[in-house]
Amino acid sequence: MRSIEMTILGEPASKSNQRKVVLIRGKVRVIKSAKALAYAKAFALQCRVLDTPIEEDIKLSIHIFYRTRRPDLDASLIMDCLQGPIYKNDRQVKELHLYHHLDKENPRSEITVTTLS
């Protein structure tokens, strides 16, 4: 088994708040919200990039430290951000452990990716 640990600073947008509907050239489109785009950009700057993304099935353990109790516990944006630099596709996640914590001064996500093979 192979394990990778990292801490990403910032508070991720929950799935219900990471998309918005907009009108572009007369067509309705669903795009990432400004908060989700900003988090994805910050994540990319902090995330380790493997030479070869993991191809095996994986287990994810994510401790999300939010500023307040208000956000829903949601790791979908984090899982999307890990796709590419760490693993090929988030469909490889076969086990997920997700935890909600509070840290008003230092919102962050503590992530452990472990191969299952």
**72 close to 11: Cβ distance less than 8 angstroms:** no
Query: pLDDT grade, residue 66 (50/70/90)?
Result: very high
User: What residues form DSSP beta bridges with 96?
Assistant: 60
Among 25-29, 57-61, 79-83, where is mean pLDDT lowest?
25-29
Residue 91, domain extent = 3-115
* pLDDT, position 20: 61
Work out how many domains the chain is built from and give that number. 1
User: What phi and psi values does residue 108 have, to the nearest 5 degrees?
Assistant: -165, 170
Phi first, then psi, for residue 2 (nearest 5°) are: -120, 140
Per-residue confidence (pLDDT) for residue 26, from 0 to 100? 81
Q: Once rounded to an integer, what is the mean pLDDT over residues 86-110? A: 97
pTM comes to 0.85
Q: Which tokens is 112 given?
A: 């452990």
Among residues 52, 78, 53, 54, the alpha carbon closest in space to that of 65 is found at 78
Which of 23-27, 74-78, 109-113 is predicted least confidently?
23-27
Is 18's pLDDT higher than 70? no
CATH number assigned to the domain comprising residue 38 = 3.30.1330.70
Widest pairwise Cα distance in the chain? 50
Query: Comparing C-alpha atoms, which of 65, 70, 90 is closest to residue 80?
Result: 90
Report the chain's mean pLDDT, rounded to a whole number. 90
